[in-house]
Amino acid sequence: MVYQIKNIASGEIDAVASLPLWIEGVWECGDQRFTDPAKTLYEMPTTLQLTAMALYLAFTPAERIAIKKSTDPIVEDFWATYELAADQKATIDPTLASFVAGLTYLATPTTATPPGPGILASPARIAQIQAGIAQ
């Protein structure tokens, strides 16, 4: 597979060594890094679609268990959407606003105001899950 990153302003597309992951203000692309503090300078030029299995494996076992045990209605709804996609053998668009909002909520610490479930260890996990990186 050929991975690419696009400069939004110029439209220039660069081939990169690995799937671009935006982690805390930097696009990590294997042997290349692109600084983008607000995630407004670069983007992936095509949308990656995740199979239900790829999404499932992108969560760690501990994350999956915590999600399944949660009684938080937002977490339950997030996982219900995954289960529906799995049942329908549908792919999941990891850039969909509701999906990103769900991941962001899962990464919100229990100490935040308002508190979240703190299921994901850090916001960096969001990009890894969106990329379908198996854990």
pLDDT per residue rounded down to tens, the chain (135 residues): 457 888 999 988 887 888 888 999 999 998 899 999 999 999 987 667 888 999 999 999 999 999 999 999 999 999 999 999 999 999 888 878 899 899 999 999 999 999 999 999 998 899 889 888 889
Sorted by where each begins, the domain ranges of the chain are 3-43, 52-130
Torsion, Cα 15 20 24 25, to 10 degrees, reads 30
Q: How many CA atoms lie within 13 A of 86 on its CB side?
A: 12
Distance CA 127, CA 29 (A): 12
> Residue 11 — left, alpha, or beta (φ > 0 → left; ψ -120 to 50 → alpha)?
left
